[in-house]
Amino acid sequence: MSARDEYALALELLRMRAQQDFATWWAAKEQGRVTLEQLRAVFADITRDYGEVAASAAVDYLILERSLDESLAGLGFPDRADPVGFEQAVASFDWAVNTSREGGVLNSAVARRKLDGVLVRLVGAPAHETVVVNARRDGRAFARVPEPGACAFCLMLASRGAVYASRHTAGAADAGERFHDHCRCLVIECKRDGSDLPRINRDLEAAWAESGARNRAEFEKYIKLRGEVGGSPWPPLERVNVPEYAGDGTSKVFPGEPLPKDLNRAVAHVLYGWRDTPLKGGMWVKHSEDSRMGHTWDSQRAKASKFPKSWSNQKIADAVVEALENPTNALAYGQRREVWLAKEEVIIQVRYVIIRGQAKMLDAYPVDSIPKRARK
Ligand SMILES: [Zn+2]
């Protein structure tokens, strides 16, 4: 796992634990064991405690990220930003509670949801600040990586690419500073030329330029028009026929549930190794049908599992789509779906996720076995 991925995961876990912690106290309030006033103070404590750990996670991330680059060896130890103060925490708490009253009566569910969103923002804030402050201090740049399904506001800020002091792009600093409630975007450190930015940022930079938008509303319109959020579409495949589903595009094992629509994507990944992010080590897989970085027998990617030589690209493509639609075994946990198809001497595993009612493809490749817990 890259330093960035590890950091993203650490932040996500901290936010979740902060929310769980708060949920326990909220329940105590609902049962009358704790007053609203006490809960308010606890809320501030939680934002401080988890915020502190989040800021430390950002420091760890910077140390790890920088340790991989010799030219950064001389940089000093990163400073850790302070968690949000008591006043800011209780002010946000009061806002969430006061805007959740209907005719003087507190709508508990509404307040809870707002406070959950505030927690995500306040716990993450000192971590983001840590990255921004140190990037500035040490002459590096930072960028905002949008969460999957991010709103237009966050996509616009991510489209600013690498942000640093002497680069005057309108609103660029906001990329590291402005976060809405529930926002799970990540602030990363990067090179000033942006050459180590994730592909999503480059795509969004290009999209912003292409769009000619001057503000978020115009950009949002453009993104919607483009028909998808989170990266430009992959070029269509020409050397294989990307099969269509035999049925209506819903799963046989998860009745009524949609299957990934973009089969071009599934096939391009398994055959040629196309992806939206660079491989570990920073190498990009070209979106060309000459890339042999997938799971075919002649793949050049170290450690990739491979289909037998007797399986043509077309046969692999067909089997992946068959696995999605009519697998021999399946497993669901949370939003994740894993399906398997045993065909001849090969077991194909396909993974996807259900996000906001839509299926998004993760990956597909041959595996050695089907886990016992996967149902038939
Ligand atoms: Zn966001």
pLDDT in tens, 24-38: 999 999 999 999 999
Residue 71 carries which DSSP code? G
Residue 35 lies in a domain: yes
Burial class of residue 273, CB neighbours in 10 A (0-12, 13-18, 19+) = buried
CA of 336 to the centre of ligand 1 (A): 22
Locus of tokens 């006490």: 38
Structure tokens given for 272: 């040629």
- Of 113, 138, 163, which marks where a domain is finished? 138
User: What is the Cα–Cα distance from 129 to 49, expressed in whole angstroms?
Assistant: 16
CA of 185 to the centre of ligand 1 (A): 4
Residue 307 lies in a domain: yes
Helix (H, G, I), strand (E, B) or coil at 197: coil
Q: Are 360 and 260 in contact (CB under 8 A)?
A: yes
CA of 57 to the centre of ligand 1 (A): 19
User: What's the pLDDT at 317?
Assistant: 96
Helix (H, G, I), strand (E, B) or coil at 312: coil
- Of 97, 116, 138, which marks where a domain is finished? 138
- Of 138, 162, 183, which marks where a domain is finished? 138
Residue 20 lies in a domain: yes
Residue 298 lies in a domain: yes
Q: Which domain holds residue 293?
A: 263-367
CA of 337 to the centre of ligand 1 (A): 25
CA of 239 to the centre of ligand 1 (A): 38
CA of 129 to the centre of ligand 1 (A): 15
Residue 150 lies in a domain: no
CA of 44 to the centre of ligand 1 (A): 22
CA of 197 to the centre of ligand 1 (A): 17
Long-range contacts of 222-229 (CB under 8 A, 24+ apart): 223/152, 223/155, 229/149, 229/150, 229/155
pTM > 0.75: yes or no: no
User: What's the pLDDT at 230?
Assistant: 43
User: Looking at the 3D structure of the chain, how many domains does it have?
Assistant: 2
User: What's the pLDDT at 117?
Assistant: 94
CA of 237 to the centre of ligand 1 (A): 33
User: What is the Cα–Cα distance from 299 to 307, expressed in whole angstroms?
Assistant: 9
CA of 163 to the centre of ligand 1 (A): 17
CA of 146 to the centre of ligand 1 (A): 6
Residue 13 lies in a domain: yes
Give the tens place of pLDDT for each residue, 50-85: 999 999 999 999 999 999 888 888 888 999 999 999
User: What's the pLDDT at 229?
Assistant: 39
CA of 314 to the centre of ligand 1 (A): 39
CA of 283 to the centre of ligand 1 (A): 27
CA of 121 to the centre of ligand 1 (A): 10
Neighbours of 264 (CB within 10 A): 18
- pLDDT tens per residue, the chain (376 residues)? 789 999 999 999 999 999 999 999 999 999 999 999 999 999 999 999 999 999 999 999 999 999 988 888 888 899 999 999 999 999 999 999 999 998 889 899 999 999 999 999 999 999 999 999 999 999 999 999 998 778 888 888 998 888 887 655 666 788 888 899 999 999 999 998 888 998 888 888 877 877 778 888 888 877 766 654 344 567 888 899 999 999 999 998 998 899 998 888 889 999 999 876 656 665 767 888 988 999 999 999 888 999 999 999 999 999 999 999 999 999 998 778 999 999 999 999 999 888 667 788 888 999 999 998 887 7
Residue 256 lies in a domain: no
CA of 30 to the centre of ligand 1 (A): 31
User: What's the pLDDT at 84?
Assistant: 95
Locus of tokens 């949920």: 23
Residue 207 lies in a domain: no
CA of 254 to the centre of ligand 1 (A): 31
